[in-house]
A and B are shown apart, each in its own frame.
Chain A
Amino acid sequence: EAQVTQNPRYLITVTGKKLTVTCSQNMNHEYMSWYRQDPGLGLRQIYYSMNVEVTDKGDVPEGYKVSRKEKRNFPLILESPSPNQTSLYFCASSLKFQQGASEQYFGPGTRLTVT
């Protein structure tokens, strides 16, 4: 089954304790992206990757890191989480440049709480 998986689905942590949220897709997609969803703000892009070893900042990259060492994986790293990073996080993937803008496939989400 074609899918994007994220782990963990729920995470409660404390300020300053490094964490990683994993994302994996099995569709051989070149493009992957991380979003955060906050009430009233919709989805905002954190980082994206056009292919292996190619990453770039989205609209809200502060406090986050990513890496793309393999095509299927795109982990999101919070080196020193803060309470304002409490949010619902989505990973997404898509084929690269299909008629200009491609349908994105989303993971189930990771709800992160930083206390």
Chain B
Amino acid sequence: AQSVTQPDIHITVSEGASLELRCNYSYGATPYLFWYVQSPGQGLQLLLKYFSGDTLVQGIKGFEAEFKRSQSSFNLRKPSVHWSDAAEYFCAVGAGNNNDMRFGAGTRLTVKP
């Protein structure tokens, strides 16, 4: 079965600074990769997804992620963080049907003024 590791439990960045959240996965075939964001008191919202094709995918709210097969990674990036980006971010990997979806433990992002 596939698995996901988010190495950073908590990251703090200054508003306006760039952001990169790390995600590493383990899966033998081509994975289906997702990034979700959870704002305080809210459910999860999809930021972006990768199924195939261009390895750099654009998402909502100015986020992008790059799939690197050689590194088994799917890192999330944003060039300039806004205070409203403070939230918890989850990477997830699917393997062909939803009952094989696995979520990482999450990375909590704090944005300093």
Contact = CB atoms under 8 A, between A and B. Distances in A.
Interface of A: 4, 31, 33, 35, 40-45, 48, 50, 56, 58, 90, 92, 94, 96-97, 99-104, 106-109
B43 A101 contact: no
A101 B97 contact: yes
Given A42-B90, A101-B32, A103-B34, A108 B99 contact: no
A42 B43 contact: no
A108 to B, nearest CB: 5
Given A4-B43, A41-B105, A48 B32 contact: no
A42 B106 contact: yes
A109 B43 contact: yes
Given A40-B9, A97-B97, A103 B104 contact: no
Interface stretch (B13-21, B44-52, B65-73, B79-87): B44-52
A25 B46 CA distance: 17
Contact of B105 (A35, A40, A96, A103): A40
Interface of B: 4, 6, 9, 32, 34, 36, 41-46, 49, 51-52, 90, 94-101, 103-106
Nearest to A35: B103
Contacts of B42: 108-109
Contacts of B4: 42
B105 A108 contact: no
B101 A99 contact: no
B96 A42 contact: no
Contact of B96 (A56, A100, A103): A100
A45 B106 CA distance: 15
Contact of A48 (B6, B44, B94, B98): B98
